[in-house]
Chain A
Amino acid sequence: MQGNQAMTEGAIYAGARFYAGYPITPSSEVAEICSRVMPKIGGIYLQMEDEIASIAAVVGASLAGAKAFTATSGPGFSLMQENLGLAVMGEVPCVVINVQRSGPSTGLATKPAQSDIMQLRWGRHGDQMVIALCPATVRECFELAVRAFNLAEKFRIPVILAPDEIVGHMRENFAVPEPGELEVIDRRGPSGPVDRYRPFAADGDGIAPLAAYGGDYVFHVTSSMHGPDGYSNNDPANAAWRVEQLHRKIERHLDEIVMTRRYDTDDMDVLLVTVGATTRSGRAAALEARRRGIKAGVLQLLTVWPFPDREVAALAERVRSVIVPEMNYSGQIAGEVQRVLGGGTDIRKVNSYNGQIITPQDILKAIVADSPCGPI
């Protein structure tokens, strides 16, 4: 199965019944599959006039009760940012697949990159936070799609599933989970008296139940600053509470949201921090390094945002050096790792930004160069 297909099937497994999108390589397979499957399973497929409309339709459908998603890549993801901000502000669950391709602008339209890492986090204006996940295998495409919906529904937040093109187009065999095998979380609706429902009155967990348009609970959602009742509210104290709440509902649940995988990290001198396809090269490089007597391990970030600060810090403590291979020029992940570890730690970057994958050899070179024995 292909990565894009696995994400689509994962979405449907999680209960997605609404897809709106606009075709763009390397994500179009998601749209094509949805166009065929959605009408058969009582879902809706809409090809909108652009990506602005696509995410808008997703937000609308979600408020009408759908588990809703869209898929795109670079240029389309840029167009989605304003309405993704509305989804953050209105706490509207939704999933956006952004199959990362090379930029800037039209760039190398069909080639992979991992250069949207910062855009995933900061693409929208204003104080806001979203969750972003990066799979490295086709199985992870499926599993993280399910997770993406679970997190979106539970925390009322947009979740961005962001494989690089390599993972999106990769084909691998895996046993598709049976129904019931993976946890599927549904939205928590309101239960109290109808006239008391306040769609933004966060409970102890920092999240308010969300009704659906057309049910008994009538409610307001707005892109403007609003009070617990969902109506506009310009009071400074309220605004501060809202901004804090939008962050805290995530910050309080990092244990549930932040996912990483460790490979050979029990005894290591060199730590590789990787996402997406680079994880595969990193693992191959680490194995080869061990064969040559250098103890290397890999920390794969499945969740890139919120950034796995604690996990990176805990592992980095034990090693001589940290290497961050990533498919961008600017070292977007390396910068975060540096932030976590502070100026004292030397971080080695291995970057590619020509649309080509980082090979195990590229990474091995960095590992070896860093070894006290020098180049072997």
Chain B
Amino acid sequence: MSHATGEKYLKNGVLPHMWCSGCGVGVMLGALVRAFEELDYRNSDIVVVTGIGCTGKADDYLTTNALHATHGRALPHATGIKAFNPRLQVVVLMGDGDSVTIGGNHFIHAARRNIDVTAIVVNNFNYGMTGGQVSGTTPGDSLTSTTAWGNPERDIDICALAEVAGANYVARETTFHGWELKEHIKEAMIKRGFSLVEVFSPCPTHFGRNNAMAEPREMLDWLKEKGLPRERYEQLNAEEKRGHFVIGKLVDRDAPDFNTRYEEIRARATKG
């Protein structure tokens, strides 16, 4: 069996990429283009919308349609695209800052609206691009360039947020689990309605270095050890659960997406 490389979605000439060695963003991009290939999408059918950050730079390497938008605002741009042309496959690439910190309100409402886009969030627990500052997903007490004495705030669980806000599909993977990541991205893209794939990812340059995991390997080991499928996670006692997190598919449901609902409204409006 031939192996998907995703090459036809990648721009020649701009590789090697900008990401630091050991960074997880490229792993996400690799999984994404392989998923495109395995689903046999044409470049012209896809629009990749990106936010601003190391993750947001991913569109530079793509030959699909793309919109590199503003920090935190990728989702509402994607909403306009998908609402107007429902035939497009719209994928939104964001960091944790983009998606749930500056862009948290859009994230909630994109999920609530159940707009049929696939959000892929590379969660590296800090603001990679701007030098490793604290983010809404930085765990309490962690060190960042703006929490030198430890983070006094708590982190938000992106997947749980997507679930309560109404997402049809939610999965979490890590960059250690590349194959599973690709599979979940495929499921998310096929799923109608808002879907989220959160990718726990190393940022050795900032979050790793600030938190005693400066070697790229160390953060990857951490992700590998701490990420557990739900069945295994549930077997842990409360004490053991702390520090671990669930990976795999977390939500899978079929509430009608925005465009389906809007078609119903159109039918009502033209009748009435």
Query: Which residues from chain A sit less than 8 Å from chain B, CB to CB?
Result: 17-18, 20, 36, 39-40, 42, 44, 46, 48-50, 52-54, 56-66, 68, 82-83, 86, 90, 212-224, 231-232
Q: Is B21 an interface residue (CB 8 A)?
A: no
Bound-state CA distance A58–B63 (Å) is 24
* Structural contact, A216 and B65, CB atoms closer than 8 A: no
User: Please, which residue of chain A has its CB at the minimum distance from the CB of B106?
Assistant: A53
- From A56, A64, A215, B73 is in contact (CB under 8 Å) with A56
* Structural contact, B270 and A53, CB atoms closer than 8 A: no
Main secondary structure of the interface of A (DSSP, over half): mixed
Bound-state CA distance A48–B77 (Å) is 11
* Structural contact, B83 and A61, CB atoms closer than 8 A: yes
Task: State whether A64 and B88 are in contact (beta carbons under 8 Å apart), knowing that A44-B83, A53-B79, A56-B80 are contacts in the complex.
Answer: yes
Bound-state CA distance A23–B6 (Å) is 44
Q: Chain A residues near B68 (CB, 8 Å)?
A: 220-224, 232
- From B44, B63, B73, B79, A52 is in contact (CB under 8 Å) with B73
B224: shortest Cβ distance to chain A, in Å?
Answer: 33
* Structural contact, A64 and B106, CB atoms closer than 8 A: no
* Structural contact, A231 and B60, CB atoms closer than 8 A: yes
In the complex, per-residue mask of B79-119: 1 if CB is within 8 Å of any chain A CB, else 0: 11111110110000000000000000110110000000000
A162: shortest Cβ distance to chain B, in Å?
Answer: 22
Could you show 20 A-B contacts with beta carbons less than 8 Å apart? A39-B266, A44-B84, A44-B262, A49-B76, A52-B76, A53-B73, A53-B75, A53-B105, A57-B77, A59-B67, A66-B80, A82-B70, A83-B70, A213-B65, A213-B81, A214-B44, A214-B85, A218-B63, A219-B65, A224-B68
Top 3 A-B residue pairs of the complex, sorted by shortest distance between their CB atoms: A60-B80, A57-B80, A53-B76
- From B81, B262, B266, A64 is in contact (CB under 8 Å) with B81
A95: shortest Cβ distance to chain B, in Å?
Answer: 14
Bound-state CA distance A155–B68 (Å) is 21
Bound-state CA distance A285–B131 (Å) is 61
B208: shortest Cβ distance to chain A, in Å?
Answer: 26
A233: shortest Cβ distance to chain B, in Å?
Answer: 10
* Structural contact, B84 and A66, CB atoms closer than 8 A: yes
Q: Chain B residues near A48 (CB, 8 Å)?
A: 76, 79, 109
Q: Is B66 an interface residue (CB 8 A)?
A: yes
- From B45, B59, B80, B82, A220 is in contact (CB under 8 Å) with B59
* Structural contact, B69 and A86, CB atoms closer than 8 A: yes
The listed residue with most B CB atoms (<10 A of its CB), out of A46, A54, A58, is: A46
Bound-state CA distance A58–B76 (Å) is 9
Q: Is B11 an interface residue (CB 8 A)?
A: yes
Task: Known A-B contacts: A64-B85, A86-B69, A223-B69. Give 5 more (CB < 8 A).
Answer: A49-B105, A53-B79, A219-B65, A220-B68, A222-B59
* Structural contact, B76 and A56, CB atoms closer than 8 A: yes
B70: shortest Cβ distance to chain A, in Å?
Answer: 6
- From B60, B67, B105, B266, A60 is in contact (CB under 8 Å) with B67
Bound-state CA distance A221–B80 (Å) is 15
- From A65, A221, A224, B84 is in contact (CB under 8 Å) with A65
- From B75, B88, B270, A213 is in contact (CB under 8 Å) with B88
**Total interface residues in chain B, CB < 8 Å:** 42
* Structural contact, A36 and B269, CB atoms closer than 8 A: yes
* Structural contact, B66 and A221, CB atoms closer than 8 A: yes
* Structural contact, A61 and B266, CB atoms closer than 8 A: no
Q: Is B236 an interface residue (CB 8 A)?
A: no
Q: Chain B residues near A39 (CB, 8 Å)?
A: 262, 265-266, 268-270
* Structural contact, A50 and B79, CB atoms closer than 8 A: no
* Structural contact, B109 and A53, CB atoms closer than 8 A: yes
Q: Is B199 an interface residue (CB 8 A)?
A: no
Q: Chain A residues near B105 (CB, 8 Å)?
A: 49-50, 53
Bound-state CA distance A83–B268 (Å) is 33
Q: Is B64 an interface residue (CB 8 A)?
A: yes
User: Please, which residue of chain A has its CB at the minimum distance from the CB of B272?
Assistant: A40
* Structural contact, B67 and A63, CB atoms closer than 8 A: yes
Bound-state CA distance A327–B53 (Å) is 42
Bound-state CA distance A167–B82 (Å) is 34
Bound-state CA distance A57–B66 (Å) is 15
Task: State whether A59 and B77 are in contact (beta carbons under 8 Å apart), knowing that A83-B70, A213-B65 are contacts in the complex.
Answer: yes
* Structural contact, B85 and A65, CB atoms closer than 8 A: yes
* Structural contact, B88 and A214, CB atoms closer than 8 A: yes
Q: Is B247 an interface residue (CB 8 A)?
A: no
Q: Chain B residues near A36 (CB, 8 Å)?
A: 269
Q: Is B31 an interface residue (CB 8 A)?
A: no
The listed residue with most A CB atoms (<10 A of its CB), out of B78, B82, B85, is: B85
Q: Is B47 an interface residue (CB 8 A)?
A: yes
Bound-state CA distance A50–B84 (Å) is 19
* Structural contact, B76 and A60, CB atoms closer than 8 A: yes
* Structural contact, A218 and B43, CB atoms closer than 8 A: yes
Bound-state CA distance A60–B268 (Å) is 26
B74: shortest Cβ distance to chain A, in Å?
Answer: 8
A322: shortest Cβ distance to chain B, in Å?
Answer: 41
Bound-state CA distance A18–B79 (Å) is 12
A21: shortest Cβ distance to chain B, in Å?
Answer: 12
B63: shortest Cβ distance to chain A, in Å?
Answer: 7
User: Please, which residue of chain B has its CB at the minimum distance from the CB of A217?
Assistant: B44
Q: Chain B residues near A232 (CB, 8 Å)?
A: 60, 68
Bound-state CA distance A50–B82 (Å) is 18
Q: Is B162 an interface residue (CB 8 A)?
A: no
In the complex, per-residue mask of B41-58: 1 if CB is within 8 Å of any chain A CB, else 0: 001110101001000000
User: Please, which residue of chain A has its CB at the minimum distance from the CB of B44?
Assistant: A218
Bound-state CA distance A221–B68 (Å) is 6
Q: Chain B residues near A212 (CB, 8 Å)?
A: 85
Q: Chain A residues near B78 (CB, 8 Å)?
A: 60
